[in-house]
Amino acid sequence: MVVSGIFFIYFYTSKYIFVMATFIGDFICKPDAKGRIVLPSLFKKAMSEEAQQGFVVRKDLFDDCLVLIPHDEWQKEVQLLETKLSGFRQKDKRLKRAMYRSAAEVSLDGNGRFLVPKRLLELIDVDGEVVLLGVGSNIELWSKQQFEDDGMSGDELGELAEELLGSNFGVEEEK
């Protein structure tokens, strides 16, 4: 069963309204003979016309998946890297180098397909079907096998939510 949808989060300031698309749901996709993957229409609908031009794809820092990042979100990551990391500290330079090395730009063709470089797919052992998983402002790309093996039971999910979000998760605070 595929559960999916589109959410828009609106931010209001005194002069501007900012709209941020939120990607949710998971989709099993089979790359075509050339290795192209079709972006699910629900994900495409959640994106602005400008964002539909493509993504930056990079290796996730913690999991064996790739992350598809819309260009506006990628610019936020670049800004963070450039402001937080110094060119005069070895560890900072190594992190920046690793982040940029594991990234590539991908664009959507007229049929909504994108081609991820083989070197990145090899990092996550893709051999056949993939899963595109909406995770807020980004989309994760998993090998289907790894995605199925990485699942969390309901009890584990509940315990993790309680640990990270508190025992009142899902309950409105009284004021």
What is residue 165's predicted lDDT score, i.e. its pLDDT? 85
Mean pLDDT calculated for residue range 112-134? 94
Which SS3 state, helix, strand or coil, does residue 108 take?
coil
Mean pLDDT of the chain: 84
Among 22-31, 78-87, 117-126, 158-167, the range scoring the smallest mean pLDDT is: 158-167
Is residue 149 pLDDT above 90, yes or no? Answer: no
How far apart, in whole angstroms, are the C-alpha atoms of residue 123 and residue 143?
A: 10
Mean pLDDT calculated for residue range 66-81? 92
Domain boundaries, the chain: 4-151
CATH superfamily of 4-151: Transcriptional regulator MraZ domain (3.40.1550.20)
Q: Tell me whether residue 50 is exposed, middle or buried, using C-beta atoms within 10 angstroms of its C-beta: 0 to 12, 13 to 18, 19 or more.
A: exposed
In the DSSP assignment, the letter for residue 59 is E
What is residue 174's predicted lDDT score, i.e. its pLDDT? 55
In the DSSP assignment, the letter for residue 71 is H
Is residue 143 pLDDT above 60, yes or no? Answer: yes
Mean pLDDT calculated for residue range 110-119? 93
In the DSSP assignment, the letter for residue 131 is E
